[in-house]
Amino acid sequence: MNLSILIPLLNEEESLKELYTWIIKVMQSNNYSYEIIFVDDGSTDDSWNIIESFSNENPNVKGIRFMKNFGKSQALHAGFAKAKGDVIITMDADLQDSPDEIPELYDMITKEKFDLVSGWKKKRYDSVVAKNLPSKLFNWAARKTSGVELNDFNCGLKAYKNVVVKNIEVSGEMHRYIPVLAKNAGFAKIGEKVVIHQARKYGETKFGMERFINGFLDLITIWFLSRFGKRPMHLFGAMGSIMFIIGFLSAGYIGVSKLYHMYSGVKYTLVTNNPWFYIALTTMILGTQLFLAGFLGEIILRTKNNEARYKVAREVNF
């Protein structure tokens, strides 16, 4: 199978029929063998019934319905697990991503041998203050922190080799950083393509300004995980050991200093009256706690987490 088109969505009943017709037109004009996977992330409108009607008329259309809203990352993770195409294309369901971009993205993966190609909405139709400027700042920080030179981490229109999506773990709200996750997994050939950004035709955006705040927090998380996720003891253990040694040596110096003054007959104060003693003691305690945090992190890494990330209510055509 050439292509898997993966579309996560939440309450997009107005745009689904137009998007579906558009994708089918592109598939047929290019003679692709394909599957379209809609992942309904807990919609409360008529989105699921529309997806079921697509699947009844076209066996290439498949659907996954979550029991409630679990988030875009979980929707992508569920779709990646089911995707069978040689190339997986992800796109949003709000018609702001153009299906006409699919053939070029497909060629970049199959002919130019990219592992992943991310769309770049160079010209946007969003509010400059509410979205464009925060997005530019966010993307700059993401580039500097991750080392992945992309201009638009947030673009939902991306293309992947099948092997890429089968070897990355998308959890939490990490869908923005899939290129970073791919790089950390060993897929180094990551490209970018300028794509058309269309003004939203129906409904309202599901993401507000809080996505940028969450995005920066996730960026810190993924920076930490990429460097110390597999070896937390290297960070916490080292910091804890250094702090403990500094505190221990400081407490030792205070104690030796008192004994010297006693021996020399010089006036001295009780150790417990010296504020530096409590600073040294606090440093040793913090050092011990950091060391234990690293130790517990190593134990957690060796314990498989079987908690379900999402719960599926229904599936069609799988």
The total number of residues written for the chain in this structure: 318
Give 10-residue mean pLDDT values along the chain (318 residues). 95 95 96 96 95 96 95 93 96 93 96 95 63 74 83 91 92 83 90 85 63 69 69 84 93 87 78 87 93 81 60 83
Task: Please list the helix, strand and coil fractions of the chain in percent, rounded to the nearest 5, in that order.
Answer: 55, 15, 35
CATH number for 49 = 3.90.550.10
In this prediction, residue 129 carries a pLDDT of 46
Task: Please indicate, yes or no, whether residues 193 and 50 belong to a single structural domain of this protein.
Answer: yes
Give the pLDDT of residue 172.
Answer: 73
Burial of residue 94 (number of CB atoms within 10 Å: 0-12, 13-18, 19+):
buried
Residue 315, domain member (yes or no): no
Domain interval for residue 282: 232-301
| Number of domains the chain is built from | 2
pLDDT for res 313: 82
**Domain shared by 95 and 122, yes or no:** yes
- Global pTM reads 0.75
**Could you give the CA distance from residue 234 to residue 224 in angstroms, rounded to a whole number?**
12
Measured distance CA(83)–CA(32) in Å, rounded: 15
Whether 23 is in a domain gets the answer yes
107 CB burial (10 A radius; 0-12, 13-18, 19+): middle
Question: Do 142 and 246 share a structural domain?
Answer: no
Per-residue pLDDT, 265: 78
Question: Both 269 and 169 in a single domain?
Answer: no
Q: Does residue 149 lie within any of the structural domains?
A: yes
Q: How far apart are CA 236 and CA 224, in angstroms?
A: 12
